[in-house]
Amino acid sequence: MTDETPTAAALTSPAPSPAPAPAEPLGLPEARVEPRSRARLVWLLPILALLAIAILLVEEWRTRGPRIEVEVPRASGIEPGRTAVLSHGVPIGVVSEVRLDAAREHPIVTIDLHRWASAYATDGSVYWVVRPSIGFRGVSGLETLASGPVLEARAGADGAARKTSFVALARAPLDAASANGLAITLTMPKLGSIRPGSPVTYRDIAVGEVIDTRLADDSTKVLLDVLILPRYAPLVRTSTRFWNTSGFGVDLGVTGVKLRTESLEALLGGGIALATPSERDPQAAPGTVFDVAPEPEKEWTRWSPTIELAPGP
C-alpha cells in the first residue's frame, strides 16, 4: 500500500485489496432512489444568452448611423459620450471622440449619428456649437450653462450628396432652419466692427447675417460670408449695392448738424445694409461677390424697386 490517501487510510483493512465488503450495519433506513431526467432543457440558457446578444447587436446595427467629423473652433467642454448633438432640440447623435487635426491646430469632433439622422451627413448640412453667450442680440444658449456646450445641426437638402467631414459655423445662423439661404461673399477694405452674427438689413429689416469673416487669400481685403434668408433672396440682384452701417457719421452743412446712424444695434455691433436699384436686374447667383461701400451714396437710399419676396415666413 504505497498510496496513502485519506480514503485509503480510513479503510485500514489488514487484508490486502480487494478488501471484503464490510457488512451493512442493520437498522439504517434505505434512501429512496429515483430516476433522474437528463438535463437537456438547461442548454436553452446559453442559447437564450446568445439570442439576447444577437438582439443587442441587431439593435445596435439598426440604430447606428453614419460617423462624421466636425471641425470646431474650440472644443472646451465637449466631451466624448456626454455632449449631445441636437437638431431643433432633438438628439440626433452623440460625440464619440474629440481630437486635434493632423496639424494640431483645430479640434475635430467625431459624431456617431443615429441611423435615422443620416440626412445630417449630407452636403449642405451645417453644425455649430451652442454655448451660453450674452451679446447685443440678447442671451442665447442659456440651457447649455449647466449641461455644457452642445452641438446643433441642420440637415442639408433632400437627396444631397453624402458628406462626412464638416467645418462648424462660428456661430448659429440667423435662422437656423434656413441654412440653405442665399450665400454671397462681400469684400471690404477692413473689417471695422463687423462680426460673425452682424445683421444684413434692407430698409432696417434684418434679411441676412454675416456668418464668417476672414482675410482674402492675397490679404488685400476682408471677405465676409453672408447668408441671406431664402425669403429675402430676391432682394439681392446683380446691381445691388452694400454699405457699412457701423458707426455713425456727422454731416455739417448749411442746414445744420446731421447725425447719421442706422440703429443702436448696428452702431454697437456693426452691420451691413443693402439696396437694389431695379427689379428688372437678374437675381444674384449663390457665391456672387459684392463690394461693401463705407457709406451709401445718396441715390441708393432713394431706390425703391417693387420686388416680390419668396413665399415663406
Residues touching other proteins: how many (CB under 8 A)? 43
**Residue number with CB closer to other proteins (49 or 205):** 49
Distance, in Å, from the CA atom of 171 to the CA atom of 136, rounded to the nearest integer, reads: 14
Integer Cα distance of 8 and 267 in angstroms: 104
Binding residues for other proteins restricted to 76-115, rule: CB under 8 A: 79, 81-82
Does residue 25 interact with other proteins by CB under 8 A? yes
- Comparison of 3 and 158: residue with beta carbon closer to other proteins: 3
**Residue 169: DSSP 8-state:** B
Q: Which is nearer to other proteins, 48 or 215 (CB)?
A: 48
Among the residue ranges 12-20, 232-240, 263-271, 294-302, the one whose residues contact other proteins (CB under 8 A) = 12-20
Considering only residues 136-155, where is the footprint of other proteins by CB under 8 A?
146-148
Side by side, the strands of the sheet bearing 150-154 are 126-130, 150-154, 84-87, 90-100, 107-114, 64-71, 165-167
Strand partners, 68: 111
Quote the least distance from Cβ 249 to other proteins, whole Å. Answer: 47
Q: Which DSSP letter does residue 122 get?
A: B
| Residue labelled with grid coordinates 450674452 | 134
Altogether, the residues listed in the chain come to a count of 313
Choice between 54 and 100, CB closer to other proteins: 54
State the chain's maximal CA–CA distance in angstroms: 143
For the bound state, the minimum distance from the C-beta of residue 293 to other proteins, rounded and expressed in Å, comes to 47
Which residues contact residue 85 at a Cβ distance below 8 angstroms, ignoring those fewer than 6 apart?
A: 91, 92, 93, 94, 95, 111, 113, 127, 150, 151, 152, 153
Smallest distance, Å, CB 119 to other proteins? 25
Instruction: Give the x/- contact pattern for other proteins in 28-67, rule: CB under 8 A.
Output: xxxxxxxxxxxx--xx-xx-xxx-xx--x-----------
Give the integer Cα–Cα distance in Å for 276 and 161.
34
| Choice between 76 and 301, CB closer to other proteins | 76
DSSP state of 268: H
Helical spans, DSSP H, in 262-306: 264-269
Site string for other proteins, 239-278 (x = CB under 8 A): ----------------------------------------
Backbone torsions φ then ψ of 210, nearest 5 degrees:
-75, 120
For residue 7, state whether it binds other proteins (rule: CB under 8 A).
yes
* 129 touches 88 (CB < 8 A): no
* Choice between 25 and 253, CB closer to other proteins: 25
Instruction: Please state the closest distance from residue 95 (CB atom) to other proteins, in A.
Output: 12
CB 181 within 8 Å of CB 115: no
Q: Tell me whether residue 81 or residue 311 sits nearer to other proteins (CB atom).
A: 81
Pick the piece of the chain touching other proteins (CB under 8 A) from 8-16, 174-182, 188-196, 296-304: 8-16
Interface contacts to other proteins, rule CB under 8 A? 1, 3, 5, 7-8, 11, 13, 17-22, 24-25, 28-39, 42-43, 45-46, 48-50, 52-53, 56, 79, 81-82, 146-148
